[in-house]
Amino acid sequence: MGLDLKLSYTAAAILKAVSSGRCYGFEIMEAIGLPSGTVYPALRRLESGGAISSQWERESIAQSEQRPPRKYYRLTRDGQQLLAQAGQRYRLPEFEETETR
């Protein structure tokens, strides 16, 4: 276990949402019902702690669909372990699995 992150319930719920395929900020917000001012700073902390990583969508895809590109978040291996540990401490919400981009 390479991470020394203390997860709050909110951070654990966000991690759970990411693991269930919610891969961008507003989708996570909608899933767990928290405001943007809570979700985004938590995503930054989780990313800097190594629990999630982010990646920009390919510019060519966004251009072909005439829309701005999106930043996608996904769980890292350490993040998966962290989520498993958090699952033992908290009763986390269940999300319907969605297709991961």
Residues 33-72 that bind other proteins (CB under 8 A): 35-41, 44-45, 48, 66-71
Selected from 3, 10, 24, 92, the binder of other proteins by CB under 8 A is 24
User: Residue 76: left (phi > 0), alpha (psi -120 to 50), or beta?
Assistant: beta
Q: Cβ of residue 87: shortest distance to other proteins, in angstroms?
A: 26
**Shortest CA distance to 93 belongs to which of 20, 33, 13?**
13
Q: Cβ of residue 39: shortest distance to other proteins, in angstroms?
A: 8
Contacts of 48 (CB under 8 A, 6+ apart): none
Q: Cβ of residue 29: shortest distance to other proteins, in angstroms?
A: 8
Contacts of 6 (CB under 8 A, 6+ apart): none
Interface residues with other proteins (CB under 8 A) are 24-26, 29, 35-41, 44-45, 48, 66-71
